[in-house]
Structure 1
């Protein structure tokens, strides 16, 4: 297969929303390679080979995750003639696509098209209610409809300006929040495992940053390693034993029903 026929999709997913979106595009588009970003973050050099390159990721605090911003700065996009981005979010307005566009312009590229998929939240810290069966079914119908629209646009290489018309919650001055997110990224969250912990090690398995290690059958969050704030450890613990102190003890959990812990963990090794 000629590289000019390839579609490369770089994705990151903590609890399955962006993984599901990536797999949905791969079913609908020809010659798609799904490339997990978590497996590439420690590489000094990453070179895209396809003429069509996409990024699929969750919105973090109304913008692009910091580690993903660093990854896009690093990746060589010389081959890319069409670049797209898909953000999974709970419905809030965000500035992620503008941040990507700024990075791409410094590379002599631009964001050809951008799309949003509204999906359930996986962050149980604040006003959080896990998506129920009916809500999940209705959201999934809309996601499937959107994936059809997105795949046609990519297949036709449509040039679409950055525009967000389907957000559910507006955030005033959203494009000014990115520096604040950078500052917050350095703040350690107080993770711990409560007495429901069975020492199964699933939290370590799904931790995409490598922050968690097991010691005497208990997870330890290593202070010297940055957390990606993907909350896979919180949401995949079978006993809901993983907590953020004073935030999650009485909250439920969410992971996408079609994304297993094994699939999340494989992102570290799939290259």
Structure 2
């Protein structure tokens, strides 16, 4: 039996601290200057290519987490719906949205079901980094994303590149490259269960769910993305040498994956 309640409890328990540590003042200041600032540059380019004007478009952000992507879409003029399985994440996000006078339609629901959302109403669905590790059934999530999208609507995902998953991340931070599992082993891992999906898992599940893949990007983190995409980081904590593969061999691998697919 999949321990989904463990995930819910874990996020409910850490939500207050997570939101209190996120530098929303800096985020909103950055968004005033550039509403795409919270997206990695590669994903911002993808969004601009397919949606040069998001004003009035219906956008859904499942597993909305810290809501930085949600607030970015609000800054771009979209009509945003945000969902999360954690009621505390929704509660904390709603407080900030109300403070900023953002009109976000929030729902507490499972991204693999999206049972609070109606069919055929969204122009764009977007999932951000860190969503897929909590999903145990990609086909279910993608099928329901397909269901809520309008015909020709797009689903874009941004997440950690699977090539980094076999390495022990705690040791990588210390410059030690130790593989703790084969690439093909997807999990679940840990007491709070998480999954390490491969590129083929994303692609095959999207195709099975009826999507046509329009574009794929494998890309590196860049220095300009960092405070923009991680408001938990202090500028002083950023080691610029980590972005140079000559000094950090791990940086030779792509760190991020972006996919755009559309409903037919």
Same fold per superposition (TM over 0.5)? no
Q: Which has the higher helix share?
A: 2
TM-score range, shorter-chain basis?
A: 0.3 to 0.5
State the TM-score, normalized to the length of structure 2: 0.34
Give the number of the structure with larger relative contact order, counting CA–CA contacts within 8 Å between residues 6 or more apart. 1
